[in-house]
Amino acid sequence: MHPATGNSRRRLLRGIAAVAVALPLTFGAAACGGDDNEGSSTDANKPVELSVFYWGSEKRAELTQTALDAYKAKNPNVSFKITWQANQGYADKLATLAASGDVPDLFATDDNMLADFATRNVTADLNEYKGNKLDLSKFPPSLVEYGTVDGKLVGIAAGENTQGLVYNKTLLTTNALPEPTTGMTWEAFIDWAAQVTTKTKVPGTMDPSADYKAFWVWLRQQGKDLYNGKQFGFTADDVAKWFTLWKGARDKKATPTADIIHEGNVTDISKQLVVTGKAATSFVWANQMPELKKSTKDDLGVVAYPGDPSAQWARAAMYWNVANSSDNKAVAVDVINFLVNDEAAVTALGTDRGLPSNMDLRAKFAETVTDPAMKLSIQVENDLASKFGKAPQVPPKGHSTFRSELVKAAENVQFGRATPEKAAADLIAVVQPKLG
């Protein structure tokens, strides 16, 4: 999930409390309605109130408010009832609202949630608005594809992201070592990492065997995919091969020991091994470069994950969705279109939800960026855009379970508690029944 802009927990909770007091979680008045688009407001003079729900930090709330204020300045008949909260518990809250028929008009999801809510008919199909109220012509095609579930366009990317291999450039330069490159094979990368360990005494790479992003890219390079409908798109043998690849890397001292690897498996970006000095590289999201840079004085670089870069795709860091029950679908779609295609809105939102989805506006935004880490992140992702392959299907319900169970299975192998084969078989057995 796209990380919230860093703020202290105390400030975040204070912001949530303030919003909760001013804007209670009562969406029903704006969101009750039929399943079709009849009754959607298109009258520029008719007062419309849209309920909006998303997760994030105080900073995200400020940026979003600025963008919505810009929309209201052009559409004074539209007002917003905004509620936001921390990432933790957001999906559960949205599920509760869906179960009670109280879904907000406009809300956010990510690829952990999208298919689940789409298959429950919570999200509206926005295909009918494409080319009319919704202009996606400046989006990378795979970014549009990655918002489609069962042929329905149910999510519009609020921003784009892709996988990135971040490395300690200062460490490599100081020791006259070559930098990793996009397109190097996994085996070549592991050999390179072993060389880094030998020369610098810093393990060359984190062990990404617990990282679903890395496993997913590797699978696509084998001609497979993470999912095929509501089933896995791979076998236990594939998982065992992946675990064995990294067992070999550990044997070559290309990675840290299991206890340090465990530290790299946490989601806190500030604890990634590339910035704590416990590995020369980390497997992250490309747009996390600026946040990583805040945690180290060393210069960082970023390239694609090892292997064929066409296995990567333009991923929605977050989606905007419209409630299928909303009386004001057309207005909600118009707001989304504004947020992703209006220059003032895109500038206000920045990269908080990923790189701008509109490639023309991304290029304009890049000209204004002064942060070297963000400049590099944008440059790398733009370079990769020409190499991106077709987007995979949006993960089905149960994807979050797979992610957590992959960590457990990988760590069982890393700590020697299970063979790659046993850990792989256990992973499939636990997760497959929960997909759907």
Cα 425 to Cα 428: distance, rounded to the nearest angstrom: 5
What was the pLDDT predicted at 436?
77
What was the pLDDT predicted at 253?
98
Centroid of chain to Cα 409:
23
What was the pLDDT predicted at 30?
36
Burial of 259 (0-12, 13-18, 19+ CB in 10 A): exposed
What was the pLDDT predicted at 43?
59
Question: Among the CATH numbers 3.80.10.10, 3.40.190.10, 3.40.50.1110, 3.40.50.1000, which is that of 9-160+314-380?
Answer: 3.40.190.10
What was the pLDDT predicted at 87?
84
What was the pLDDT predicted at 221?
98
Of the candidates 105, 82, 269, 283, the residue with the CA atom closest to the CA atom of residue 180:
283
Per-residue pLDDT of the chain (436 residues; tens, 9 = 90+): 444 334 433 333 334 333 333 333 333 333 333 334 333 334 567 899 999 999 998 989 999 999 999 999 999 999 999 999 988 899 999 999 999 999 999 999 999 899 999 999 999 999 999 998 999 999 998 899 999 999 999 999 999 999 999 999 999 999 999 999 999 999 999 999 999 999 999 999 999 999 999 999 999 999 999 999 999 999 999 999 999 999 999 999 999 999 999 998 876 788 899 999 999 999 999 888 888 999 999 999 999 999 999 999 999 999 999 999 999 999 999 999 999 999 999 999 988 898 999 999 999 998 988 888 888 888 888 888 889 999 999 999 899 899 999 999 999 999 999 999 999 999 999 999 999 7
Lookup: tokens for 151: 């042929």
What was the pLDDT predicted at 44?
63
Cα 140 to Cα 57: distance, rounded to the nearest angstrom: 27
The ranges assigned to domains in the chain are 9-160+314-380, 163-312+398-434
267 within 8 A of 112, measured Cβ to Cβ: no
Task: Dump pLDDT digits (tens) for 217-235.
Answer: 999 999 999 999 999 999 9
**Domain made up of 163-312+398-434: CATH architecture:** 3-Layer(aba) Sandwich (3.40)
What was the pLDDT predicted at 290?
86
What was the pLDDT predicted at 45?
75
